[in-house]
Chains A and B, each alone.
Chain A
Amino acid sequence: MIVADQKPIEEILQMLEPYKRVLLLGCQSCVAVCMAGGEKEVGLLASAVRLARTSQGRPIEITEGVVKRQCDDEFNDLWRETIEQQEAVLSLACGVGVNKLSERFDLPILPALNTKFFGEVERQGIWTEVCAGCGNCILHMTGGICPIARCAKNLLNGPCGGVRADGTCEVSRNGPRPCAWVLIYERLGKLNQRKNMEQLFAAKDWSSDRHGGPRRRIREDMLL
């Protein structure tokens, strides 16, 4: 799912500075799973903001809400009347939700989250990036382990020379991460597909990736 972090409270308070009446709108989908913007987080953030503003002597009126998915007008519509009464909306959805509300409502829609990546639940409290949305999936060749998302240099003929003795990547920003190519090597071994690593993997066509420009998917047969 999409994984996001909540912005530091100082940044959120600064964004809310000019406003006295806001809606905090969360989402029950991805951001609820990664505990950044679900109903619970909306309640907590609303409380924190009210306390902060009270202690500043500048109270703020907050309406708390949550939608099933903020990426869809169908769900956001249910809050239309409330939204139209606000000075601003602080969205706790991923960037998609912020974009979606902004397309529809003529008032500031503020992002409470920093949207980060497509990830898996490693275990409660830990979410890891495993898919880069490159638009051209090669996971059948790499035993299901994505070198685009999980290798810092998105190598296709890895690993590079920067693997530590314990098999972790030398580029480990949030603590040691396993080298994706060591993982691929081990998995291909289990699947008896090692020869995938002995052949030359052709250069990637990045035109299907975000680098090729903003993307769109259309299903003609499903258009009404």
Chain B
Amino acid sequence: MIDSTLKRALESKRFVVTAECGPPKSADRTVIEKKAQLLKDWVDAANVTDNQTAVTRMSSLAACAILKSLGLDPVFQITCRDRNRIALQSDILGAYALGIRNVLCLTGDHQSFGNHPQAKGVFDLDSVHLIETVRRMRDEGKFLSGDELTGERPAMFIGAVENPFAPPYEFRALRLKKKVEAGAQFIQTQIVYNIQRFREFMARVGDLGLLDKVYILAGVSPIKTPGAARYMRDNVPGLDVPNEIVERMEAAGKGIEDKKARAEAWRQEGITICVEIIQQLKEIEGVSGVHIMAIEWEEAVPEIVRRAGLR
């Protein structure tokens, strides 16, 4: 039995909300505590990122433990970039012992993107291997080596990610299938801005018979400024930001002289766009919820959830 609030919420068939909680570049636990208070009443579970974009931050494991102690259901994001199979399996056992029940298995951003590009990237396993490893520990009580665990198994709710918007497009739904076969029970997708393309992806996922095998949460993210919109459109591989959205962001600030007021107008439009996307996502078959990535803008989450009518 997997004792996960997130799992129960998904099983109840209600539209689930998860959000991201970014740990600080410091040893200050109060940062996590404050974010926890912001998100607590608005989400079913909260992800803690694992040195996202290869920038060193407080460990996901530690931050998850803090969230757990404050009554949230954390999703322990774990990447293959910084740890080998020995450490990964070790962290899964430790996470479970600290009360964490959800794990999101990712390959991880390459170290060249972060603040320590000279670091040695590990990549002993890839995300598919990691999913399989956690499942084996949970269901068979065995390590990757075949050795048996000597006691309680980590009964984790296993998650993975998929990006419908990166080539080869025809292969992405198949890759999702591989992850489900490896043991993925829920998926959080890359940020959706292009609803039409996402619909097509979900149709292909449906054709592969996966909709009753895995819960899919669509990724959404409120845009803060037109500059951010342009940057995401032009510089982030795997993100499809339609020009229409960039134009809406630009239009929102037009004619407003005061810097503060203009910034506020942009933020409002960013949230509005996010809410509209969520409302459209609710209509797509197979979408069980949304994963809100309001990076360093966790304050936006309650407003998004409320305006989208999810709470």
Binding site for B on A (CB under 8 A): 152-165, 167, 170-171, 173, 179, 182, 185-186, 197-204, 206
Q: What are the residues of chain B within 8 A of A158 when measuring CB–CB?
A: 126
The verdict on B107 contacting chain A, using a C-beta distance below 8 Å, is yes
Q: What are the residues of chain A within 8 A of B109 when measuring CB–CB?
A: 162
The answer on a CB contact under 8 Å between B181 and A200 is yes
Q: What are the residues of chain B within 8 A of A185 when measuring CB–CB?
A: 168, 171
Give B187-240 interface residues, CB cut-off 8 Å to A: 190, 237-238
What residue of chain A has the Cβ atom nearest to residue B177's Cβ? A198
Residue among A153, A164, A200 making CB contact with B178, cutoff 8 Å: A200
With an 8 Å Cβ cutoff, the count of chain B residues facing the other chain is: 36
The verdict on B155 contacting chain A, using a C-beta distance below 8 Å, is no
Query: Known contacts A170-B237, A200-B182, A203-B85; is A159 also within 8 Å of B168 by CB?
Result: yes
The verdict on B302 contacting chain A, using a C-beta distance below 8 Å, is no
Interface class of chain A by DSSP? loop
The answer on a CB contact under 8 Å between A156 and B110 is no
The answer on a CB contact under 8 Å between B112 and A157 is no
Q: What are the residues of chain A within 8 A of B113 when measuring CB–CB?
A: 170-171
The answer on a CB contact under 8 Å between B85 and A171 is no
Query: Known contacts A153-B110, A185-B168, A198-B174; is A163 also within 8 Å of B237 by CB?
Result: yes
CB distance from A141 to the nearest CB of B (A): 15
Query: Known contacts A153-B107, A156-B126, A156-B129; is A161 also within 8 Å of B161 by CB?
Result: yes
Q: Which of B113, B121, B161, B175 has the most C-beta atoms of chain A within 10 angstroms of its own C-beta?
A: B175
CB distance from A114 to the nearest CB of B (A): 15
Chosen A-B contacts, 12 in total, with CB atoms closer than 8 Å, are A154-B126, A155-B107, A155-B126, A157-B126, A157-B178, A159-B175, A163-B237, A165-B167, A198-B174, A200-B128, A202-B129, A203-B132
Give B129-167 interface residues, CB cut-off 8 Å to A: 129, 132-133, 144, 161-163, 166-167
What residue of chain A has the Cβ atom nearest to residue B182's Cβ? A200
The verdict on B127 contacting chain A, using a C-beta distance below 8 Å, is yes
- How far does the alpha carbon of A66 sit from the alpha carbon of B177 in the complex, in Å? 56
The verdict on B123 contacting chain A, using a C-beta distance below 8 Å, is yes
Residue among A154, A159, A182 making CB contact with B123, cutoff 8 Å: A154
- How far does the alpha carbon of A95 sit from the alpha carbon of B142 in the complex, in Å? 42
The verdict on B124 contacting chain A, using a C-beta distance below 8 Å, is yes
Residue among B80, B112, B163 making CB contact with A173, cutoff 8 Å: B112
Q: What are the residues of chain A within 8 A of B168 when measuring CB–CB?
A: 159, 163, 182, 185-186
What residue of chain A has the Cβ atom nearest to residue B190's Cβ? A161
The answer on a CB contact under 8 Å between A165 and B237 is yes
